[in-house]
A and B are shown apart, each in its own frame.
Chain A
């Protein structure tokens, strides 16, 4: 349980109810994992709605999915996977006390996340133009199925909620950049990077499920 005869700043992060840094780090990681489980259940409800309506109207899904641009969806998939890589590299940088590297990797991750959102913006805008809007605002005539609005309602809920989570992730990573610049993060304390990384990986994994289920079924 001994800590290196550490410099005063190195222990600034240690909260009073923890015995040592390791315990605090372990607790934070466990907490984030538990939170991720709740996120899985949260999105799980939407996946159930997807499954139920797909089992009732399978032809609707195949038909409506043609309206989704598979190419840009695939680009977004690679963008997110790439951002998961760079956030993992950010954690590695922190572990090696390479604060500059940490900041650069965070910036790249943020950049990729923004690319994701921009592509999403164009996808949505294109649909809105055609009249593919959520719920009772749906006015597109191009799909020969009376329940077309349901598919797109589910599409907008799932990708919309996912998008909100991407935005939150961007916010968290900006906060990490600020912390890194203030020299708060180092190899003895990089917990915020670790747990934000975990969160980001989940956001990525959820997209990896969304993409084939929505885009690749046509």
Chain B
């Protein structure tokens, strides 16, 4: 690039090693303090934490609703809730867990925090848009809460027409709330795509991108392509109720199956929005806690993209009994089986990573193992549901409920917990009680299986879903399931306890308690306000455990650390010695 003019002003860039401070005095949590600073922050880390607090709140609410449902179901007839109330409770449980917890959980909470750090960037591409995303999420949530208190919604989280058009209750407020929330998801995806394309550190080529980021990238692609379709579907549904538009309601000349097509065109890719970030976390955790290079990097990276792509083509498998043509059923069933293959590939690659590794079963790794087991069950039961003849029997029964809880909770929530426990020290600079972490993982594992294994059996025996009453033969299964739910609840309360304790009184973690090679660990814990005090330079892949740690802490000094561009002087980089001993 040297031209005649440029030769005289060629910059000499000296790459040095920057060892992270083990006990940073100043970091993002104690700079910019006070509630106003938090509410107007454009720092991706604080925004990530605000999302984390919000999704934790909604997980708690959704969980309480689940316990209410399961308690009512202890006996076959009415225990303490009327059918009307029950129907609203299951609707809310689904809507809250999916839209206000799962969809934002990894991307918006953990992703916002970690993505720029793994890229060596100082923030996401559009920090103000990031804050706007958060407030849009809050506004969407407020509409939904408003809906609960002004009539409630009893349609199920799927809002099928014509029932959702004709039922009383505040369907419009809730669908509008979810519509707004969709934009939060879209803007987060947009931000991540541009950040990954444009803000990578020098040397960070695509083949060195952490698999966590490949996962977030694939997820973001789905978010921007699928969520707008949900938006238009919910807008049409709201208009249907408000103006009687008539596209989905047969009384007005419309078609209810068309609604289902529109709804599932988003909602199937949505399940991949929910799980693919989790896959990214599992790659990070397994590699770190096996201290071994990831096996099949490109297989894992590209399989996320394959899942994203094929995931757009299978929505009809939610509608095998809905009245689609047999040809449509056949095509959707075929493609559904194809989408399972890239996922299977990942599981095998992760196991192969553990082979001949140096495995340390700390809490994050324990959750990753739990993920492998539970998600595999979820995946296999998905294959079961993809088979046309069997699905005719199992559709809309508890078998489906068990399947999606195994993939969403046994899969995604476990991956989320793995990520939470993995990056906890990075976010707060503190460790949690490792013993309690492992015990809780065990309690949740046992409770989870107790809750949902019986549901597979019930479903296969014909127990329909969304049932307030049921026939006597299913009672033992329901009772076992309810006990399991309470066991899980206990586990989560213990977790809240030790995590809170960690925040208040936890031991200092140091910058890299796990010995990971990934870039986010090469900066102090808690993280400095602007992430890195230098511009990181990447020469290795993030899983190259055979390379010494010092090779992952290289960078170019940037005086003023990115501020004071206005000073206007040419920076004379090579002269500045910033290496800290």
Contacts and interface: CB of A to CB of B under 8 A. Distances in A.
* A and B assemble together: yes
Interface of A: 2, 5-8, 11-12, 14-18, 23, 26-27, 30-31, 34-35, 37-39, 41-46, 48-49, 52-53, 134-137, 146-147, 149-150, 153-154, 157, 161
A49 B122 CA distance: 43
A7 B246 CA distance: 60
A45 B253 contact: no
Interface in B113-129: 116, 121-127, 129
B194 A27 contact: yes
Contacts of A149: 246, 252-253
Which 3 interchain pairs have the tightest Cβ spacing? A136-B244, A45-B232, A135-B243
Nearest to B129: A31
B224 A135 contact: no
B186 A135 contact: no
Contacts of A31: 125-126, 129, 190-191, 194
Given A2-B9, A41-B228, A41-B229, A150 B243 contact: no
A38 B194 CA distance: 14
Interface of B: 9, 116, 121-127, 129, 186, 190-191, 193-195, 197-199, 224-229, 231-233, 235-236, 239-240, 242-247, 252-255, 258, 262, 530, 562-563, 565-566, 568, 570
Given A35-B190, A149-B246, 19 more contacts: A12-B566, A14-B565, A15-B127, A18-B199, A27-B125, A31-B126, A42-B228, A46-B232, A48-B262, A49-B258, A52-B255, A134-B239, A134-B243, A135-B240, A135-B242, A135-B252, A149-B252, A150-B247, A157-B239
B229 A34 contact: no
A43 B236 CA distance: 12
Contacts of B240: 135
A65 to B, nearest CB: 18
A134 B565 CA distance: 55
Contact of A17 (B121, B197, B227): B121
Contacts of B227: 38
A95 to B, nearest CB: 21
B218 to A, nearest CB: 14
A26 B129 CA distance: 16
Given A34-B193, A45-B229, A16 B530 contact: yes
A26 B198 contact: yes
B206 to A, nearest CB: 16
A30 B244 contact: no
B257 to A, nearest CB: 10
A153 B245 contact: yes
Interface of B is mostly: helix
Contacts of A17: 116, 121-125, 127, 199, 562
A16 B122 contact: yes
Contacts of A7: 568
B253 A42 contact: no
17 contacts: A2-B570, A7-B568, A11-B565, A27-B194, A30-B197, A30-B198, A41-B225, A49-B262, A134-B243, A135-B240, A135-B244, A135-B245, A135-B246, A135-B252, A137-B243, A149-B253, A153-B239
Contacts of B129: 31
A37 B252 contact: no
A37 B9 contact: no
Contacts of A147: 253
A161 B246 CA distance: 17
B246 A16 contact: no
Contacts of B242: 135
Contacts of B243: 134-137, 153
A131 B190 CA distance: 42
Contacts of A6: 568
Contacts of A137: 243-244
A15 B44 CA distance: 14
Contacts of A34: 190, 193-194, 224
Contact of B245 (A11, A12, A18, A134): A134
B562 A5 contact: no
Given A46-B232, A150-B246, A153-B245, A38 B186 contact: yes
A11 B568 contact: yes
A39 B190 CA distance: 12
B562 A16 contact: yes
A207 to B, nearest CB: 17
Contacts of A44: 228-229, 232
A160 to B, nearest CB: 9
* B186, B197, B231, B568, most chain A CB atoms within 10 A: B568
B572 to A, nearest CB: 13
Contacts of B245: 134-135, 153, 157
B261 to A, nearest CB: 8
Nearest to A53: B247
Nearest to A11: B565
A42 B542 CA distance: 37
Nearest to A6: B568
A7 B232 CA distance: 47
Given A46-B232, A153-B245, A157-B245, A38 B568 contact: no
A118 to B, nearest CB: 24
A37 B229 contact: no
B243 to A, nearest CB: 4
Contact of A49 (B121, B228, B247): B247
A142 B194 CA distance: 52
A137 B190 CA distance: 39
A44 B232 CA distance: 9
A150 B253 contact: yes
Contact of B253 (A37, A39, A146): A146
Contacts of B246: 135-136, 149-150, 153
B253 A23 contact: no
Nearest to B1: A1
* A18, A23, A30, A38, most chain B CB atoms within 10 A: A38
A35 to B, nearest CB: 6
Contacts of B262: 45, 48-49
A8 B569 CA distance: 10
A134 to B, nearest CB: 5
A28 to B, nearest CB: 8
A27 B231 CA distance: 25
A119 B240 CA distance: 27
B169 to A, nearest CB: 19
